[in-house]
Amino acid sequence: MAEARPIEVRGLTKRYGSTVAVDDLTFSIPAGRITGFLGPNGAGKTTTLRAVLGLVRPSAGEARVAGEPYRRLRDPLRRVGAVLEADSFHPARSGRNHLRVLALAGGIPLARVDDVLAEVELTGAARRKVGGYSLGMRQRLSVAGALLGLPELLVLDEPANGLDPEGIRWLRNFLREFTAGGGTVFISSHVLAEVAQLANEVVIIHRGRLVAQEPLETLMARAAGGTVARSPEAERLRALFAEAGLEATVISADELRVAAPPERVGEIAAAAGIVLHELRTEAASLEEVFLGLTSEGPS
């Protein structure tokens, strides 16, 4: 029997009254990789993640972690580490005591508390009340809580929100190290650029529905765009591209956009003895591709 995927979501739907937050969403994430969970604000990412973590009951469908609904996991702290968006803490409790509570409830040896505090570089502030923590320190405390049980899967909901550049760099390095050690990361963000430097795969949703699930390279290939060729014989060139099975669109009387790399365009023109005045690549940014996907998504 094939090993269960770290996260599997099947036909997940969540309605709040007449509002459909997540609509028949199906996807799964691979083990040992970083999967970005992308979509604009309000796309349903947080609701999906909370359904995965057993905090939100699906209206239909299901979400499984390592083959089981989260609520049926034994010792979930040892299986999944979760960093929630805008995580909440008791302001009068110290960071260390917050972790002690989690460790006690989760059956984790208390020695792990000091280990994870050191891991997130929070040892110096461990005995201070969380009410006095900066946003970055709170985020690190969240990560520390997620690491207590040495889980193989980390689920992070918009972890970079409010972090300064140093904090974001720390988080990025940390997650790379985590997956280098064999861990799996599922990280949500509404900013593609945040995830693009980290993720191997992306799951993109819009208005609660799946828009794309693909390796990041595929998404980047979409962003590669086409090649623009300027030639006094643009019309003849266009006919040659059509013969070669390449789609070319007319930009102006002497300009064409071809869905092919510049090397291929140049070779076809040279073989036919056609003069080119200009040959350049025209790349859309990843962000433009993302925006394109999430604006053309299902309505």
Partner 1 sequence: MIRLIRAELVKLSTTRLFLWLGLLIVALSGFVTTITILSTDELSLATLDQQRSLAQFAAVGAIIALIVGIVLAAGEYAHGTIAHTFLVSPVRPRVVAAKLIAGAIVGVLVTGFAELVTWTIAAAWISGRSVPFLLDSRPILDTYLGILGAGALAAVLGVGLGAVLRRQTAAIVIALVWLLVGEPVLSTAGIQEYAPGHAIAAVAVAGERSSELLGLWPGLLVALFYGIAFAAVGAVLMDRTDVS
- DSSP, collapsed to helix, strand or coil, labels residue 191 as coil
Residue 91 lies near partner 1 (rule: CB under 8 A): yes
User: Pick from 40, 145, 208, 297: which binds partner 1 (CB under 8 A)?
Assistant: 145
Q: Which of 82, 199, 268, 289 binds partner 1 (CB under 8 A)?
A: 82
Classified as helix, coil or strand, 154 is strand
Q: Does 101 bind partner 1 (CB under 8 A)?
A: yes
> Nearest CA to 174 among 119, 114, 216, 122?
119
Q: Residue 54 interacts with partner 1 (CB under 8 A)?
A: yes
**Using CB under 8 A, which of 18, 19, 41, 88 touches partner 1?**
88
- Residues 57, 63, 66, 67, CA torsion sign: positive
CB of residue 298 to partner 1, shortest distance in Å: 23
Partners of 256 in beta bridges: 229, 250
Sequence-distant (6+) residues with CB within 8 A of 192 are: 36, 38, 286, 287, 290
Q: Which of residues 159-178 bind partner 1 (CB under 8 A)?
A: none
Q: Is 290 in the site for partner 1 (CB under 8 A)?
A: no
Size of the site for partner 1 (CB under 8 A): 35
Verify binding: residue 19, partner 1, rule CB under 8 A.
no
180 binds partner 1 (CB under 8 A): no
- Are 73 and 80 in contact by the 8 Å Cβ rule? The answer is yes
Assign residue 75 a region (left: φ > 0; alpha: ψ between -120 and 50; beta: otherwise): left
- Shortest approach of partner 1 to residue 189 CB, angstroms? 19
Residue ranges binding partner 1 (CB under 8 A): 46-47, 50, 53-57, 70-73, 76-77, 80, 82, 84, 87-94, 97-98, 100-102, 104-107, 145
